[in-house]
Amino acid sequence: MPETSRRGLLFGTAAVSAGALLTACTSNEPKTKGTAADNQPAAPDDKPGKKVTIGFAGPQADHGWLNAINENAKSRAEKYSEVTLEITEGSNDTAAQIGQVQTLINKKVDVLVILPADGKALTQVGLQAMKAGIPVINLDRIFASPQAYRCWIGGDNYGMGLNAGNYIGEQLKGKPNAKVVELAGLDNLELTKQRSQGFADALKNYPNVKRVARQAADFTVESGQAKMAQLLQAQKQFDALWNHDDDQGVGALRAIQQAGRDDFLMVGGAGAKAAMDAIKADNSVLKATVLYPPTMAASAIDLARALGQGKGVGGMAELEIPASITLYSAVVTKDNVDEYLPTGFS
């Protein structure tokens, strides 16, 4: 978990992370089907303010969660008649994304929302925007310097692993010599290390539970299936699996079904709609998923709008928006899945 996120404010649910408490919100419309941003109403006492142009730059939407980020940002901006959203095509090439942000700076947008493909590599362009008088909302992947952004908002990778480990530990606390396995994401990413560290720290609270295997995948369906097949071949018996990512979890479930295994429980990660549907159906090993809510993009638009209009955050005494907001990684089970289904992404 980035250092700033450790100092961040904890917002307790994905509903709050969608900006329900932000004074930047305006809609009183009834809930309709769509993204989580569509389904989260804004503060009813807020009125449209002055016109604000928000520049949005994110990475290429080559993953379900990243696509949901883009959709949440667009849907949220459409709720506000006074907000114009300038959105870039998105790229995983850092040089291309830097160029896209510089184009937005040259257009003199009022506020920038940036989810960098690489936080360290895009720090300089964040600094460039701030020096140009354009406040930056740094979304999720954090810049190397706090001077490169006005506010950071993102998920809690360490907390994601911690909550997954605690949930599994509670399910297995009465079982002697319980064994768990872990299907991680990309090991060269800091977020994967943070999720694994949180998971390991949680398991320390359950001396009867031991992690017996860990395999890194690549956040894709294909890698999830291949790496899970290897784990199943190597581990003939275990009691629980934590999979870091619901996209690769689709492949993991295929491998599990092909192997005819149903002797353990599975916990996913991120909060895909397909995972929540499976949890609700309760007809597979998948019993829970730990949220990493893409509604953070909707909240980033709310925060950018508030900055552009000189507002603070509803429910807080301060005149300014916070410097850092860390979203909570709630555990979704069959007991609460209906509450979180509107936030599920495809």
Say what the pLDDT of residue 36 is.
Answer: 54
Q: Which of 161, 160, 143, 162 is nearest to 152 (CA)?
A: 143
Q: What is the pLDDT confidence band of residue 313, given thresholds at 50, 70 and 90?
A: confident
Residues 168 and 255 in one domain: yes
Residues 191 and 303 in one domain: no
pTM above 0.75, yes or no: yes
45 inside domain: yes
Q: Which of 292, 304, 289, 260 is nearest to 157 (CA)?
A: 292
345 inside domain: no
60 inside domain: yes
Tally of structural domains, the chain: 2
Residues 13 and 136 in one domain: yes
Residues 220 and 300 in one domain: no
Q: What is the pLDDT confidence band of residue 28, given thresholds at 50, 70 and 90?
A: very low
**Could you give phi then psi for residue 304, rounded to 5 degrees?**
-65, -40
Boundary-marking domain end, from 267, 291, 315: 291
At 67 the three-state DSSP class reads helix
285 inside domain: yes
The percent of residues in the chain predicted with pLDDT above 90, rounded, is 79
Residues 128 and 49 in one domain: yes
Residues 189 and 263 in one domain: yes
Task: Say yes or no to pLDDT of 63 above 50.
Answer: yes
Task: Say yes or no to pLDDT of 241 above 80.
Answer: yes
- Strand (E) or helix (H) holding 276: helix 273-281
Report, as an integer, the average pLDDT of 241-262. Answer: 97
Say what the pLDDT of residue 17 is.
Answer: 36
Instruction: Look at 31 and 34; give whichever has higher pLDDT.
Output: 34
Task: Say yes or no to pLDDT of 25 above 80.
Answer: no
Task: Say yes or no to pLDDT of 8 above 90.
Answer: no
Q: Measure Cα distances from 285 to 34, 199, 209, 254, 257 in Å.
A: 28, 19, 19, 11, 9
Task: Say yes or no to pLDDT of 44 above 80.
Answer: no
Q: Mean pLDDT lowest for which of 146-155, 282-291, 306-315, 335-344?
A: 306-315
Report, as an integer, the average pLDDT of 42-64. Answer: 80
pLDDT tens digits along 285-297: 999 999 999 999 9
338 inside domain: no
Q: What is the pLDDT confidence band of residue 37, given thresholds at 50, 70 and 90?
A: low
Residue-range definition of the domain harbouring residue 215: 157-291
346 inside domain: no
Quick check: 109 and 73 in contact, CB under 8 A? no
Task: Say yes or no to pLDDT of 253 above 70.
Answer: yes
Residues 253 and 287 in one domain: yes
Q: What is the pLDDT confidence band of residue 39, given thresholds at 50, 70 and 90?
A: low
Q: Mean pLDDT lowest for which of 14-28, 46-60, 78-92, 138-152?
A: 14-28
Say what the pLDDT of residue 32 is.
Answer: 36
Task: Say yes or no to pLDDT of 88 above 60.
Answer: yes
Report, as an integer, the average pLDDT of 175-184. Answer: 98
333 inside domain: no
Residues 221 and 299 in one domain: no
Residue 242: exposed, middle, or buried by beta-carbon count in 10 A (0-12, 13-18, 19+)? buried
DSSP code, position 141: S
Tokens 């142009």 appear where?
53
231 inside domain: yes
Report, as an integer, the average pLDDT of 49-72. Answer: 92
We report the CATH number of the domain holding residue 237 as 3.40.50.2300
Say what the pLDDT of residue 35 is.
Answer: 57
Residues 180 and 302 in one domain: no
Task: Say yes or no to pLDDT of 329 above 90.
Answer: yes
Average pLDDT, the chain: 88
| Neighbour count for residue 345 (Cβ, 10 Å) | 26
Say what the pLDDT of residue 113 is.
Answer: 98
Say what the pLDDT of residue 226 is.
Answer: 98
Residues 239 and 269 in one domain: yes
Task: Say yes or no to pLDDT of 14 above 70.
Answer: no
Boundary-marking domain end, from 291, 317, 339: 291
Report, as an integer, the average pLDDT of 243-269. Answer: 97
Residues 203 and 83 in one domain: no
Residues 172 and 214 in one domain: yes
pLDDT tens digits along 110-169: 999 999 999 999 999 999 999 999 999 999 999 999 999 999 999 999 999 999 999 999
Say what the pLDDT of residue 225 is.
Answer: 98
